[in-house]
Amino acid sequence: MSDINFDSNNFCWLSFPNGIQKFDGKNFITIPVQPGLPDDKWCYFFRCLNGDLLISHVMGVSKYDIRSNKFSLIYNNPPDVLKAMKFIGEDEGTIYGYTQRGTLVGLSAEKYKTVYEVNTGIQNVIGSRSNAMPTIGYNIINHRVVIKTDSSLSLFDLHDRKLAYAPVYIAEMSNYFLRLESQDQVFYYRNGKDNKPIAEHYNFATGITKISTAKSVVSVTSFRSCSHNWQNKTLLSYFNHLYETSPGLDSIKYELVDFQNKPIGGTSAIVKITEDHTGNLYLQTINDGFRKIIRNAYPIKYY
């Protein structure tokens, strides 16, 4: 599974390497290539603040019209682009995306027209690899987003449309986790001794790196991680485990488990946490489908 998200009817959309499906609560419906949706491979979804669903693919970005059940192409990728644009997020009425060329694209959240395209300067760090794509931070704080390319971290200001600081080299960073803690500080993982993951905080303003105590939660040599804010809680996944952490992601409060008191991800790593319109969580795994956490479930005690 490539991605998962929800439309304004709370129907679940699933992206796969070979196509798109929609789950309406009863049936899985295959969404074919059609006018307004020229490609369906390796797509990314983005749910706008108004509930509209956008789909990024190698041909550009499509918008789903839930009333007509049809699509419209709202952004065209240049012919030489080989990867779907990665969504950054929505900030002050603009939906931001990052292209393979290192271009920041801004789409109006009202009319879905291109507001601007600006060269971020980050593509120079990527180098000459034609298929290179960066890791985008999970969140936007004070118009800023963090972007990782190879072993460099860049902090980009969406409002000023420029880098807030010069890119910083950090060796052995993981491609699977990147989150801002403040407008200047980022949380990430890197490979430490014997390739064991180490969680670190880096502050662009001070240039100080601090090791997080969250690094010793579990010991794995190959992992994925992601985070999500849910019901005034900060959740952090680590391989197949899911934890509630402190807001700064530097200490663990407890682990969320299944009814058998086992890791909620089963035997597969959790790669994305998505919330539907009623507050239920969906955990996307690498090769074990997705798991659902119901928001208003009755409390369970172990006997």
Q: What is the pLDDT of residue 19?
A: 95
Tens digit of each residue's pLDDT (9 = 90 or more) over 244-272: 988 777 778 889 998 889 999 888 899 99
For residues 175 and 88, give the distance between their C-alpha atoms in angstroms, rounded to a whole number. Answer: 16
* Both tokens assigned to 301: 């005690």
**Cα–Cα distance list, 192 to 162, 197, 240 (Å):** 32, 6, 20
Tens digit of each residue's pLDDT (9 = 90 or more) over 154-201: 999 999 999 999 999 998 888 888 999 999 999 998 887 777 778 889
For residues 151 and 174, give the distance between their C-alpha atoms in angstroms, rounded to a whole number. Answer: 9
pLDDT band at 274 (very low <50, low <70, confident <90, very high): very high
Tens digit of each residue's pLDDT (9 = 90 or more) over 96-112: 999 988 899 999 999 99
Contacts of 300 (CB under 8 A, 6+ apart): 259
Tens digit of each residue's pLDDT (9 = 90 or more) over 21-66: 999 888 999 999 999 999 999 999 999 999 999 999 999 999 999 9
Coil, strand, or helix at residue 23?
strand
For residues 170 and 294, give the distance between their C-alpha atoms in angstroms, rounded to a whole number. Answer: 38
Task: Label residues 189-220 b or e (16+ Cβ within 10 Å = b).
Answer: bbeeeeeebbbbbbebeeeeeeebebbebeee
